Amino acid sequence: MFQLTRVASRTESGQIAAVIRALPFVIGRENTADLQLEQPGIWNSHATFQLDPNGRVVIDSHPECSSWLNDQLLEGSTPLKPGDVLKIGPTALRFELSSVEQRNPATREWLLYLLVVFFIGSQIFFIYTYLAD
């Protein structure tokens, strides 16, 4: 999981703008965009996060859109790394890895233990009934 944190404005700095749980992830003005930004200079489908064939997260920007990655004009498909700053219009977003939420395995462990006990019990039952005959 990844997250985008706002870094541009003083009032919103440090706020999580979006958590990316699935790729592709689209930033733009459209209602279908995963992160909607309604500011000047942002296109309907401005930028897209996706996986490249090597499994890296890359960002693609529409060729006519001006997007900046770490103060350099974004051209084509560019791999991202934690800490990269993407500037789209007046908004700057920092790309980061988000913390992993661990699930409580207790229920799954208990079900596994019950399955093992049932399996061993059934084996003992079948052996006992086979030997009794």
Residue 61 in contact with residue 47, Cβ under 8 Å? yes
pTM of the predicted model as reported, rounded to 2 decimal places: 0.66
Q: What's the pLDDT at 99?
A: 61
Q: Is the dihedral of CA 84, 70, 18, 43 positive or negative?
A: negative
What is the 8-class DSSP label of residue 9?
S
Tell me if 5 sits within 8 A of 15, measured CB to CB.
Answer: yes
How many other CB atoms sit within 10 Å of the CB of residue 115? 10
| Unique residue bearing structure tokens 């993407």 | 86
DSSP string, 45-103: T-EEEEE-TTS-EEEEE-TTS-EEETTEE--SEEE--TT-EEEETTEEEEEEEPPPPPP
- Tens place of pLDDT for every residue, the chain, 133 residues? 677 777 755 445 557 678 888 889 999 999 999 998 888 888 898 999 998 898 889 998 877 888 899 999 988 889 999 999 999 888 888 898 766 566 677 888 889 999 999 999 999 999 988 877 6
Which pLDDT does position 100 carry in this prediction?
Answer: 59
* Cβ proximity of 18 and 1 under 8 Å: no
pLDDT at 1: 67
